[in-house]
């Protein structure tokens, strides 16, 4: 049969689609969305139904208490099952009953949706009804004939017919119609039914469920005419069919099925409502999550861009300081060292005192002052840049914590480490002050040369005998070499950019390390955002695929 063949093709598509939907939901569990296991179980159940060879059309009866739902089930079936139906005039059943018909239809009789007189029971019955209604392929909505659509029903009606989009597969039924008309008067029956139908349509338009020229037909029945009891009516079926108008309900059901294309088409519509239930209900959460992530990423991006600019600016200044210091060391070589090497016996002492000083204190002070001059401004600039960066990151953290209160823990894996700004360090690393190795090297050269130079300065007369000139020159060169070695040691450190930064700008190095770590964390957040965005797009693609299948 062509219809069956078409359904089998659609069935294969649906099985594939629902498998993709289940994977989609499983993947979505890692995001902070309220996708519960019940929703995934619903998809699993749908998969099983479609994979079943003998699946039946599931029809759910929905309505308030005492609206005659259970009696309608009995009339529909044309029989009574006293062990499970619990038929009573109070319609007080609090469990879901399943009944099989001879035409591959399964009826699901739900507990009352709108009011049992107990708030706790109302919530329980509503929860049970919602569970089965959302998975039913056809809805028979049973109403009170005297007040079909109450204001208190508004929330449930909007949920059923707008949120779950069940209007196209719902049959509206006025139950217990014998309380409104004389069932034996067919003219009165039809007149009142039409009036009620118009009133119901107006009310549905007022609630925003119907729009424009949309109009729904209403069936009016009595599952237990005149309260005679179902046992009585099961023995008087001809009269029962006439008075109950149950056949009109069966005709309406058949037309509804034919209108949708077939039992199978109704089932396809049901699966679409499952997807609708998942995607539409979560759309606001998804949008909030995307917007929250975008806000965090934008602020984080700005902070990282600023840190990159700051580091580049500081690096340029460090290089300038490096060049200036290297030039300074060259000037020391061309001035102090050269002056010492060219000093005569008469002017050596004055050059030594002004350029080197006792134990090298003058030379040490001059070098350290030059280091301070070349590094202090850059170090303060780095401190300022770090303070701005930390302030921006603290703002990001506050935003993330605020968003987390709404259930979106966007930075759960991101730990900001701001300790490096708190470390108290001198602008000039201690390494640049005269250490023993420097003092010893300088002292060795000087101490070796000074006795000879001292003898000369004390006026020893017999220069030729003690070879004063040669020994003075040798001692003078030893002093010059010692000074040059110290300068070369500083030059070596400053000339090596990495060593220079490590020794003179430790905060720059820590800033650089922290910015790199934060950049990796930002990439992680962006990847999560891209993955979530792709996940949301998968959901939209699933919905479009279903729209195509159910056209």
What integer pLDDT is reported at residue 404 of this predicted model?
A: 66
- For domain 56-261, give its CATH number from 3.40.50.300, 3.30.2010.10, 3.30.70.100, 1.10.10.10: 3.40.50.300
Rounded to the nearest integer, the mean pLDDT of the chain is 76
Rounded to 5 degrees, what angle do the CA atoms 493, 490, 471 make? Answer: 140
Residue 487 has pLDDT above 80, yes or no: yes
Measured torsion, CA atoms of residues 429, 433, 435, 437, in degrees rounded to the nearest 10:
100
Confidence of residue 218 (pLDDT cuts 50, 70, 90): very high
Which tokens is 509 given? 């190095």
Alpha carbon separation from 375 to 254, 314, 486, 504, 510 (Å, rounded): 90, 11, 20, 7, 17
What integer pLDDT is reported at residue 287 of this predicted model?
A: 79
What integer pLDDT is reported at residue 455 of this predicted model?
A: 52
Confidence of residue 270 (pLDDT cuts 50, 70, 90): low
Confidence of residue 213 (pLDDT cuts 50, 70, 90): very high
Q: How far apart are CA 76 and CA 85, in angstroms?
A: 13
Supply the DSSP string of 122-158, one letter for each residue.
Answer: HHHHHHHHHHHHTT-SEEEEEE-SSSSS-GGGHHHHH
- Residue 208: DSSP 8-state: T
What integer pLDDT is reported at residue 332 of this predicted model?
A: 92
The answer to whether the CB of 196 falls within 8 A of the CB of 145 is yes
Which tokens is 489 given? 């040691």
Please count the other Cβ atoms lying within 10 Å of the Cβ belonging to residue 481. Answer: 16
Range among 111-125, 158-172, 178-192, 468-482 with highest mean pLDDT value: 178-192
Q: How far apart are CA 479 and CA 269, in angstroms?
A: 99
Residue 266 has pLDDT above 50, yes or no: yes
pLDDT in tens, 296-345: 888 888 888 999 999 999 999 999 999 999 999 999 999 999 998 998 88
Domain ranges (residues) in the chain: 56-261, 287-542
Residue 24 has pLDDT above 50, yes or no: yes
pLDDT in tens, 70-93: 778 777 766 544 444 443 333 334
Across residues 442-446, what is the average pLDDT? 51
Q: How far apart are CA 437 and CA 156, in angstroms?
A: 87
Range among 192-201, 264-273, 520-529 with highest mean pLDDT value: 192-201
pLDDT in tens, 130-152: 777 776 778 889 998 988 988 88
The three-state secondary structure class of 79 is coil
pLDDT in tens, 533-547: 888 888 888 878 877
What integer pLDDT is reported at residue 27 of this predicted model?
A: 86
What integer pLDDT is reported at residue 165 of this predicted model?
A: 78
What integer pLDDT is reported at residue 111 of this predicted model?
A: 66
Supply the DSSP string of 337-371, one letter for each residue.
Answer: IHHHHH--TTTHHHHHHHHT-GGGHHHHHHHHHHH
Residue 276 has pLDDT above 80, yes or no: no
What integer pLDDT is reported at residue 359 of this predicted model?
A: 75
Alpha carbon separation from 29 to 26, 37, 273 (Å, rounded): 5, 9, 20
- Residue 160: DSSP 8-state: I
Q: How far apart are CA 158 and CA 153, in angstroms?
A: 9
Rounded to 5 degrees, what angle do the CA atoms 475, 476, 477 make? Answer: 90
Query: Which of 131, 112, 108 has its CA nearest to residue 121?
Result: 112
Across residues 55-84, what is the average pLDDT? 68
What integer pLDDT is reported at residue 5 of this predicted model?
A: 44
In angstroms and rounded to an integer, the radius of gyration of the C-alpha atoms of the chain is 46
Buried residues in 209-246 as b, exposed as e (16+ CB within 10 A): bbeeeeebebbbbbbbbeeeebeebeeeeeebbebbbb
Largest CA distance in the chain: 157
Q: Which residues pair with 108 in a beta bridge?
A: 60, 98
Residue 190 has pLDDT above 90, yes or no: yes
Q: Which residues pair with 57 in a beta bridge?
A: 105
Q: How far apart are CA 321 and CA 54, in angstroms?
A: 85
Residue 371 has pLDDT above 50, yes or no: yes
Which tokens is 482 given? 């010692």
Residue 53 has pLDDT above 80, yes or no: no
Query: Which of 445, 390, 442 has its CA nearest to residue 418?
Result: 390
């Amino acid at each position: 049969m062509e219809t069956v063949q078409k359904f089998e093709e659609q069935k294969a598509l649906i099985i594939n689609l629902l498998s993709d939907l289940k994977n989609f939901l499983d993947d979505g569990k890692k995001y902070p969305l309220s996708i519960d296991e019940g929703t995934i179980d619903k998809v699993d159940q749908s998969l099983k139904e479609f994979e079943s060879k003998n699946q039946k059309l599931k029809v759910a009866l929905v309505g308030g208490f005492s609206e005659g739902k259970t009696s309608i089930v009995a009339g529909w079936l044309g029989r009574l099952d006293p062990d499970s139906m619990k038929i009573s005039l109070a319609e007080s059943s609090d469990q879901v009953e399943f009944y099989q018909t001879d035409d591959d239809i399964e009826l699901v009789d739900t507990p009352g949706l709108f009011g049992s007189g107990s708030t706790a029971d109302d919530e329980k019955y509503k929860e049970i009804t919602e569970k089965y209604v959302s998975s039913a392929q056809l809805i028979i909505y049973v109403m009170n004939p005297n007040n079909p659509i109450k204001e208190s029903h508004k929330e449930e009606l909007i949920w059923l017919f707008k949120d779950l989009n069940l209007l196209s597969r719902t049959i509206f039924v006025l139950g217990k119609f014998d309380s409104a008309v004389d069932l034996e008067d067919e003219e009165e029956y039809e007149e009142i039914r039409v009036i009620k139908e118009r009133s119901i349509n107006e009310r549905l338009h007022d609630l925003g469920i119907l729009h424009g020229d949309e109009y729904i037909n209403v069936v009016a029945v009595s599952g237990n005419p005149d309260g005679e009891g179902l046992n009585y009516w099961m023995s008087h079926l001809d009269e029962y069919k006439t008075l109950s108008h149950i056949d009109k309900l069966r005709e309406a059901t058949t037309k509804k099925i034919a209108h949708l294309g077939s039992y199978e088409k109704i089932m396809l519509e049901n699966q679409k409502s499952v997807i609708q239930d998942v995607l539409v209900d979560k759309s606001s959460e998804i949008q909030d999550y995307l917007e929250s992530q975008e806000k965090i990423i934008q602020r984080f991006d700005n902070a990282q861009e600023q840190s990159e600019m700051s580091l580049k600016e500081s690096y340029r200044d460090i290089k300038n300081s490096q060049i200036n210091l290297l030039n300074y060391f060259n000037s020391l070589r061309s001035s102090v060292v050269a002056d010492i090497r060219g000093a005569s016996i008469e002017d050596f002492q004055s050059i030594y005192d002004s350029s080197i000083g006792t134990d090298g204190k003058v030379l040490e002070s001059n070098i350290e002052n030059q280091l301070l001059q070349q590094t202090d401004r850059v170090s303060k600039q780095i401190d300022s840049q770090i303070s701005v960066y930390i302030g921006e990151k603290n703002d990001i953290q506050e935003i993330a914590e605020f968003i987390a209160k709404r259930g979106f823990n966007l930075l759960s894996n991101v730990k900001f480490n701001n300790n490096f700004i708190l470390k108290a360090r001198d602008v000039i690393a201690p390494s640049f002050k005269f250490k023993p190795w420097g003092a010893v090297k300088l002292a060795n050269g000087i101490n070796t040369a000074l006795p000879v130079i001292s003898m000369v300065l004390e006026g020893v007369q017999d220069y030729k005998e003690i070879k004063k000139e040669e020994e003075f020159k040798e001692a003078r060169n030893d002093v010059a070499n010692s000074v040059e070695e110290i300068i070369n040691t500083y030059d070596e450190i400053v000339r090596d950019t990495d060593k220079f930064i490590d020794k003179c700008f430790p905060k720059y190095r820590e800033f650089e390390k922290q910015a790199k770590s934060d950049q990796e964390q930002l990439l992680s957040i962006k990847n999560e955002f891209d993955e979530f965005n792709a996940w949301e797009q998968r959901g939209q693609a699933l919905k479009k695929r279903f729209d195509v299948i159910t056209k």
